[in-house]
Chains A and B, each alone.
Chain A
């Protein structure tokens, strides 16, 4: 009787083994689909602002550092075709003494995309060509490098570049 009881206990214990289930709550995966157009002030697009962006200011806009990186999705209709990146930027009037003559270079890991020179302060759109070889993937990651910036001064301890507003990956001009 005792042996039967012990055997039953052991058998019931053997049934307690739990299979290893996935724990999706412990993983934050990359978005499978990246947007080809992102708004730098939109929280929903923040995961495509990869590096070099400061926390949003109270107005919702955010400064970028002298070097920043974004990712843009390549929509199906642009795959394998020439395209261009349009970056809507705001260059503050107050910082123009430091930024005068500002040039922004864009590049991917393997290739320079071009260089854009700011004609003056205010709202501007920088355009960079994207060769067809770079649109074969589902996404494109781009580094932007500014050749000058607003240095830290007073209570402002950050190196400030420009205020990016929007980035778009669109078809190259015909």
Chain B
């Protein structure tokens, strides 16, 4: 095994230079998609319990990535706010460390400086790293690669020196990886694969790590609910082989047509097939020659991609970030072996590798540039919405003109950071794609009744997105509101508002300061919400009766009992929340409030129930 010295630092310079060129724009990408959800974590922390919740409660498909998502976003957002640059600096610094570790391992295991310089180049050029370096939420891939490479370095040191400190360090990086990305479960398999390839024997200490991975995998599989359908549904069937082939094709030949690049237009499948054939030839030779690092590279690729193979409908280029380390070893060792061979072998290796790098590099750069442009749009939209919220506090902000791309990049999640209800116009032609999109996207649409209510209350602010700017058109929008929307029942009833009287049925007494008394039973009509997940909130009070047990309130929705609520003993005001069931086809929500016994008001002969100040769905 060859040792790396500081003089070998130049080995990572070409890969870093390549990263600078390929990811120049990607590393300047603004926040997008899930980034906003993680950025909003800090705003929800008001106690130690909230902090624990923010750090450890499973989110985003049941993941708990404490270090790579929760802690990094919490800290950097707290220190730098919505400045994306520190996030990217962290990603770039981790990437540089990874390149150094990769060079270190390659030199150590191949003994070739050429391979040690080539492996980081091949990895850095690959499509798999384009998104993790550009999209901050995918930093987990870079940090997980660091945990795996660092643990593997410790394994090599331990195998050579036998010092327990290296074993402990390996365990530390491996264990930390569980808080980074679930893929780390494959590390014991990677370690065992190397031990077996190198010595045909796996030490007992490595087998113990299988236990940790097994426990983590079992907990993840059984404790965290998995979606039965949609892109994150798992398919444990022969489709996994096709998915593996798809990933191999993406890794070998790039995934995008290099449009606008000075390259011959060849189908990605042809490039992948040629590179794949060359790689297969080299692996066969490597098997005969005992080129351990090449064989380990193939094993690394297969093992590291294995956990995502059941995600048949969520094939993502950034899932290749970690497996591509294996491909980098295969390619780098092939180049090193060819350099020691005949001139035609050198020429063939350089030609194939150059061909591969040109196409994956193009795909990488196109992907990174796309993320950058999308980040620019996301930044414009977010700050435009933020400005609209600041200009119209308390208003309902209805947006139209957003396409699907920008909706997912910046609208859907960014609303978590904005202190207002912001939603899409349900009639907007540019959001018609939602009909075929995932059901939860519909949450981003305003209900017609909600818009009509805001228009009646003068709480409506309507904007159109014309690329890079929001244009207000509230007057015009209100003018075009369908009459049937305005005639529909409201989403909110202020009982003390005389205009709400048409929506109050039987059982209400006259308006008093702060609301209206109900009799023992009262009815009101609200608009039915058009999306699931809404709740009816009832804001009311009833004077305390210290000598009697608390009264009970029953709430019925469209005739079906939805809540039995015991009024609080300690304070007269209360708010009851009733989750709204699906009300398919019903345009109205008939609310019945029934109190089990009257409130005895001295000198008042009425049979009084509760004083309702407001009914609304939220």
Binding site for B on A (CB under 8 A): 10, 13-14, 16-20, 22-24, 26-30, 50-51, 69, 71, 108-110, 139, 141
Contacts and interface: CB of A to CB of B under 8 A. Distances in A.
Interface stretch (B224-232, B362-370, B465-473): B465-473
Contacts of A109: 478-481, 483
B83 interface: yes
A30 B383 contact: no
B469 A28 contact: yes
Given A23-B384, A109-B479, A139-B475, 8 more contacts: A13-B86, A16-B83, A16-B86, A19-B81, A23-B383, A26-B383, A30-B473, A50-B479
Contact of A26 (B470, B474, B481): B470
Contact of B472 (A13, A22, A30): A30
Contacts of B471: 27-28
B470 A28 contact: yes
B79 A23 contact: no
B386 interface: yes
B380 A18 contact: no
Enumerate the 4 nearest inter-chain pairs by beta-carbon distance, A residue then B residue, closest first.
A26-B384, A141-B479, A23-B383, A17-B81
Interface in B531-560: none
Residue among B86, B384, B475 with the highest chain A CB neighbour number at 10 A: B475
A30 B388 CA distance: 12
Contacts of B474: 30
Interface string B369-397: 00000000000100110111011000000
Contacts, number: 76
A113 to B, nearest CB: 14
A20 B472 contact: no
Nearest to A16: B80
A50 B476 contact: yes
B564 interface: no
B387 A23 contact: yes
B82 interface: yes
Contacts of A139: 475
A22 B481 contact: no
**B contacts with A: majority SS:** helix
B57 interface: no
Contact of B391 (A17, A27, A69): A27
A110 B480 CA distance: 10
A21 to B, nearest CB: 9
B78 interface: yes
B79 A18 contact: no
B380 A141 contact: no
B377 to A, nearest CB: 11
B375 to A, nearest CB: 15
Contacts of A23: 383-384, 386-387
Interface in B449-495: 463, 468-476, 478-481, 483
A27 B80 contact: no
A69 B479 CA distance: 10
A51 B476 CA distance: 9
Contact of A141 (B78, B384, B476): B476
Contacts of B387: 22-24, 26-27
B469 A141 contact: no
Given A16-B80, A22-B387, A22-B391, A27 B475 contact: no
Contacts of A18: 80-83
B594 to A, nearest CB: 38
Interface in B312-332: none
B475 A30 contact: yes
Nearest to A18: B81
A65 to B, nearest CB: 16
B479 A14 contact: no
Contacts of A108: 479
A50 to B, nearest CB: 5
Contacts of B81: 17-20
A147 B610 CA distance: 57
A10 B80 CA distance: 11
17 contacts: A13-B80, A16-B83, A17-B80, A18-B81, A18-B83, A22-B386, A22-B391, A23-B387, A26-B384, A26-B470, A28-B472, A29-B391, A30-B475, A69-B476, A109-B481, A109-B483, A141-B479
